[in-house]
Amino acid sequence: MAAVSDPVELGAPWGPVRSEPPPTRFHPVHGANIRVDPSGTRATRVESFAHGVCFSREPLAPGQVFLVEIEEKELGWCGHLRLGLTALDPASLTIVPEFSLPDLVSLGHTWVFAITRHHNRVPREGRPEAEAAAPSRPPALLMEPYLCIEQYRIPRDRLVGRSRPGLYSHLLDQLYELNVLPPTARRSRLGVLFCPRPDGTADMHIVINGEDMGPSARGLPATQPLYAVVDVFASTKSVRLVQLEYGSFFSQCHPCRLCAAW
């Protein structure tokens, strides 16, 4: 599933060229314990461990990554960030559920998972269960400048977490780049996106520090607006949005030899 880009000139698309998606922001509708900053790019849970559900302000475009960086952690709680997509319009919710799992999911048309490197990778129908195993990538592939997820090519640089400048920051940055730190470590970057399929459905992918974890849900309604869901839950206290620069246009990539190998 996840792999590097095709070795072609930057910007060579496979399929129609589309405009770059707009900047991501948090929706003004959110959990009772969430405070969103005036820019709409940082969400902080101010008390307790729950009521931290947030949404994207706008539906995502196909292939657009809703990317957050974990800014603050809070000791004493069990559990971490949860991430996914919903076809529910946040503005239609009279009350935002206390938890994304199971409360929001139980409303239907919602796909949310707790973040872990070995989570919920689903095989295609008729394919062996081994396909559902968490992907293993040689370190060299994680250093490639682009990440290909199905038909989309995404610049990898901003997908990867960064340490704060300091004496050992160069060593920590290497750990983020190799994706060997816990996926919910402070300053890890976590993203969600969907990729439409020819049958009118879509696959949902979760990206951890520049690595595609594979499809975590299939059969999403690609023809309906899909909003990102971020549950700032338990030990995750604050997240900020990271904006991606897709280039002069939002491109689709031709599956390369290395993509096919995975």
Question: Quick one: average pLDDT of 211-217?
Answer: 93
* pLDDT value of residue 126: 58
Helix, strand, or coil (residue 208):
strand
C-alpha 170/C-alpha 186 separation (Å) is: 16
Predicted pLDDT at 11: 28
The DSSP output letter for 12 is -
Mean pLDDT of the chain, nearest integer: 81
Cβ–Cβ < 8 Å for 222, 86:
no
Q: What pLDDT is attached to residue 145?
A: 86
Q: Which pLDDT does position 2 carry in this prediction?
A: 33
Contact between 176 and 161 under an 8 Å Cβ cutoff? The reply is yes
Give 37-59 pLDDT, tens digit per residue. Answer: 999 999 999 999 999 999 999 99
Quote the percentage of the chain above a pLDDT of 70.
69
Please tell me the predicted confidence (pLDDT) of residue 52: 98
- In angstroms, the CA 108 to CA 88 distance is 8
Residue 60 has pLDDT above 60, yes or no: yes
pLDDT of residue 246: 78
- Please write the tens of the pLDDT for every residue from 119-156: 555 666 655 554 555 455 555 455 688 899 999 999 98
Higher pLDDT, 168 or 179: 179
How many Å apart are CA 30 and CA 95, to the nearest integer? Answer: 9
pLDDT on residue 137: 53
- Mean pLDDT, residues 108-112 taken together: 97
To the question of pTM greater than 0.85 for the whole model, the response is: no
Buried/exposed 82-113: b ≥16 CB within 10 Å, e otherwise: bbbbbbbebeebeebbbbbbebbbeeeebbbb
